[in-house]
Structure 1
Amino acid sequence: MKDLTQGSIPKHLINMALPMMIGMFIQTLYFIVDLYFVGKLGAAALAGLSLAGNAMFLIFALTQILNVSTAALISHAVGAKDREDANLTFNQSMMLSTVTGLVVCIIGYVGAEAYLNLISQDLATVQMGLTYLHWFIPCMALQFVMVSISSALRGTGIVKPTMIIQTLSILVNILLSPILIAGWGSGYAMGIAGAGLASSISVVFAVILLCYYFKTAEKYVSVDFSLWRVDTARIKKLLAIGLPAGGEFFLMFVYMGTIYWLIQPFGADAQAGFGLGSRIMQSLFLPAMAIAFAAPAIAGQNFGAKNYQRVRETFTWSAIMTCSLMAILTLACLSQAEWMVQAFSNDQEVLLISVVFLQLICWNFVPSGLVFTCSGMFQSLGNTMPALFSTATRLITFILPALWLSQQEDFQIEQLWYVSVTTVCIQAGVSFYLLRREFNKRLPQGESSSENLANENL
């Protein structure tokens, strides 16, 4: 357990975010390798990967329920020095993650084809996406156990071991991708199925390592099957915090699915180009997201310890760091978008759509950084409903004009990106307003714990 109620907040943010950044950098390489080899299979394969990959937002929605709530409640318990409460939260989270993972696996195999047929009219794209999902679903199901363990460690201030394990897992994925997709060394190329299998194998590897580490090294919370009996009160607490956070990702799943649905008439090239551009954008976001992910544990422990001024300072430093990184990424996309995408496809139409997407959508990077930061702070306060409301605001303000534009004779894909940028700016304003209101309600000015006062006087 690491005490985050003492010491420099920027230093805590950097120390926690740095290993996350390293892990996310390796994850970026994984995205790049996956895109590179699948992109060589053609536009239908790239579009199928993108459509199937969008299902991960639905998995993120479900895992985020446990991720946010477990980390928040455990960080509050750590700040209040209540180990028994932290242990109960962890074991209830593990129970829920195990059951949910099994359910997701079953539903995934039953409903994959119907989902793909809903958002694509191209038979080759649907077949590619279905092939990928059949091998990728075990990876999605195992995410739940990984999230419960990782969020428990993060709530106690420990991030380095999980980042190392996730990094090793991604390296395994990177090594397996050319072997399984293109047949390097084996002479047997599985194509897009190999991409899904590589991901599933790497996650199995990560879960085994993570469980081993947790069993042998972590002592603050531990697996206790006697605590796996349904505790209705604790599950309600987990869901009260986690459901709105999960709702954010569910709305993102709906948002992305809506775009794929709207651009169906433009063909597989358009869906592939959007999928390529959005995957690169998500990869670019990872370093900034590492800082936003580090903030809830720091602010959560200080909130539990009633060090309210340090909670406010955590937001300030997190916002400065996150938005600064996003500003740099905006400049990179404006000047280097063509270089970023050129290696992933030989189809010039796919590349053109991706370049235009990145050069327009990058104008929402800085407001997105503010949204990430605000969402992290809502998590630390144990109230994620405002974050859900801001995401819903974005979804509504995007879908209504996007549907109207799609009915016009001169409808062009670029119009969707302009609307998207506008709606993210609106979302950032809503998130910041709601966070200020939450701070005024839950963080009394001038109040802090006796330890914090003592430190300020030194």
Structure 2
Amino acid sequence: MTVTNSNNKQVNLLEDPVTSTIKRITIPMIYGMVLLMTFNLIDTFFVGLLGTQPLAAISFTFPVTFTVLSLMIGLGIGTSAVIAKLLGKKETALAKNTATAAMYLAAIIVACISFIGYLITDPLFTLLGAQTSLLPLIHEYMDIWYLGSVCLIGPMIGNAILRASGDTKTPSIIMGSAGLINAVLDPIFIFGLGPVPAMGIKGAAIATLVSWLFGLLFVFYILTKKLDLIHRRLIPLKILFTSCRDILRIGLPAAGANMLTPIAAAIMTAIVATYGESAVAAFGVGSRLESIACLIVLALSMTLPPFISQNFGATQLKRVEEAYKVSIKFILVWQLIIYAILAVSANWIAHAFAKEAAVADLIQLFIWILPLGYGLQGVVILTNSSLNALHKPMIALWLSIIRLFICYVPLAYIGSLYFGLIGLLVGAVLGNMMMAMISYAQFIKQFKHIEFITLEQA
């Protein structure tokens, strides 16, 4: 399918050179994500100014909020994979039905999950290791966050529909604009300004809700009025159920795989919590820094699948293989460069995000060790997203299970038993190394199987 990039030049995902095409569709996504991630980091920065307790409280919320986000990302992956393959096969009417059904489906699911989360807030966060003194602060943030979670269908599912068509410029504009709104409102709602009272950590949640609502309205306008990628009316139940079934066939395993990531983060947070609130606060800052450090990986994980799915639908498998291998090679080199930059800047970063020396020292320790494994983690992420794009979601799910129960968390835990926090961080890096090798080998195996089946059908 042909789309227009930020330079108003036509990009054909099925015919243009692989490397340059991936570059052209990924760069707009990077711009949007840079703004979004930077503004989210600003959110953490402002909360950090409130003190260690609010920073620790928002750090405890990360595994829970990321679980809901991962569920939405999984549904977005299913949506993108199905729609992109249909577009590759030139079945545009069916693609439009699927896109419409995806919006309905995601809204219902996230509303149910968030309502359950709201009901079990206290026991859930107590299980994660939060002390009773932190629960009121966690409530202030999460009660608002749950309320606005349905708005996530805009930036998550709506953007997945746009990416499936090859349009990465519009999603980047939506993400960047929403992030800017969040960053502007954060200090106003957190510390107060004029008639707006200081609301502390609750203000951060309200700023997030407003930015998500903006993203929902923006993407809905684009999808209905500008690009006509979803229906403006209700679709027949038979079409809805059929489309939802196709999405869930990929989306549920993908969501399961994505939700294992915050589960791993929750277990890691619980382990870190045994070292005190300062360690949890530092781990929370490190988790958000990871989002910035792995920005290119995340951007590629969003733009590579539509490219793969469209070419898969058009049975152009050589382009699929080339795209995957080029992306893996690039990300390994890129993340080494990022590690060097972080290591040199570790002291400055640590003191920028922490008022207390103990927290700053721990942030610095995290930066010196964990980013060594980000390139390897990138191999795992891109492999899973590529397998989902090839409609192999169960393989991606099994790889995520292996990462959680065999590699990443177990090695980190064993390291912590013998060498404390340093051992935990080194173990996590070794876990990513082991998982990267397993993931790459599994992709090659699955790809050869797909090639064999395609040749037989031909």
Structures share a fold, TM > 0.5?
yes
Partner residue, 1:431 = 439
In terms of mean alpha carbon deviation, does 173-182 or 326-335 score higher?
Answer: 326-335
Cα deviation, residue 236, structure 1: 3.0
**Any residues of structure 2 matched to 1:278-289 within 5 Å, and which?**
278-289=287-298
Change (3 A) 1:220 1:193: closer
Partner residue, 1:52 = 61
Contact 1:277–1:341 (CA<8 Å) still a contact in 2? no
Structure 1 distance, partners of 2:242, 2:124, is 35
Report the AA paired with residue 35 of structure 2. Answer: I
**Any residues of structure 2 matched to 1:11-30 within 5 Å, and which?**
11-30=20-39
**Any residues of structure 2 matched to 1:434-453 within 5 Å, and which?**
434-444=442-452
Contact 1:65–1:242 (CA<8 Å) still a contact in 2? yes
> Any idea what SS the aligned residue of 1:120 has?
coil
Report the AA paired with residue 433 of structure 2. Answer: C
Deviations 1:376-406 (A, max 9, x none): 2112201122222222112113444555566
Does 2:425 match 1:412?
Answer: no
In terms of mean alpha carbon deviation, does 343-352 or 146-155 score higher?
Answer: 146-155
Q: CA RMSD in A?
A: 2.3
**Any residues of structure 2 matched to 1:34-45 within 5 Å, and which?**
34-45=43-54
Cα deviation, residue 177, structure 1: 0.3
Q: Which runs of 5+ in 2 are unaligned?
A: 3-11
Deviations 1:80-111 (A, max 9, x none): 00112212211221221121132133223212
Structure 2 distance, partners of 1:427, 1:262, is 21
Does 2:122 match 1:113?
Answer: yes
Contact 1:90–1:221 (CA<8 Å) still a contact in 2? yes
Cα deviation, residue 437, structure 1: 0.7
Cα deviation, residue 356, structure 1: 0.6
Structure 2 distance, partners of 1:333, 1:182, is 30
Structure 2 distance, partners of 1:42, 1:229, is 53
In terms of mean alpha carbon deviation, does 193-202 or 316-325 score higher?
Answer: 316-325
Cα deviation, residue 276, structure 1: 0.9
Contact 1:79–1:302 (CA<8 Å) still a contact in 2? yes
In terms of mean alpha carbon deviation, does 85-94 or 69-78 score higher?
Answer: 85-94
Cα deviation, residue 65, structure 1: 2.7
Given the alignment, which residue of 179, 191, 194 partners 1:182?
Answer: 191
Partner residue, 2:249 = 240
Number of residue-to-residue matches in the alignment: 448
Report the AA paired with residue 133 of structure 2. Answer: A
Cα deviation, residue 228, structure 1: 5.0
Partner residue, 1:380 = 389
Given the alignment, which residue of 280, 287, 303 partners 1:294?
Answer: 303
Given the alignment, which residue of 241, 258, 261 partners 2:270?
Answer: 261
Report the AA paired with residue 438 of structure 1. Answer: Q
Report the AA paired with residue 417 of structure 1. Answer: L
Deviations 1:17-60 (A, max 9, x none): 11111111101221221111110111111111111122122112
Cα deviation, residue 374, structure 1: 1.1
Does 2:196 match 1:198?
Answer: no
Contact 2:115–2:146 (CA<8 Å) still a contact in 1? no
Cα deviation, residue 263, structure 1: 2.4
Cα deviation, residue 265, structure 1: 2.6
Contact 1:65–1:239 (CA<8 Å) still a contact in 2? no
**Any residues of structure 2 matched to 1:144-223 within 5 Å, and which?**
144-186=153-195, 188-223=197-232
Contact 1:357–1:417 (CA<8 Å) still a contact in 2? yes
Cα deviation, residue 330, structure 1: 1.4
Report the AA paired with residue 192 of structure 2. Answer: G
Contact 2:411–2:430 (CA<8 Å) still a contact in 1? no
Structure 2 distance, partners of 1:316, 1:158, is 22
Partner residue, 2:141 = 132
The percentage of counterpart residues that share the same residue type is 24
Q: Which runs of 5+ in 1 are unaligned?
A: 451-458
Contact 1:361–1:418 (CA<8 Å) still a contact in 2? yes
TM-score of the superposition, structure 1-length normalised? 0.92
Cα deviation, residue 272, structure 1: 0.5
Structure 2 distance, partners of 1:296, 1:121, is 37
Structure 2 distance, partners of 1:369, 1:411, is 26
TM-score of the superposition, structure 2-length normalised? 0.92
Contact 2:75–2:157 (CA<8 Å) still a contact in 1? yes
Cα deviation, residue 301, structure 1: 0.6
Contact 2:154–2:219 (CA<8 Å) still a contact in 1? no
Does 2:225 match 1:225?
Answer: no
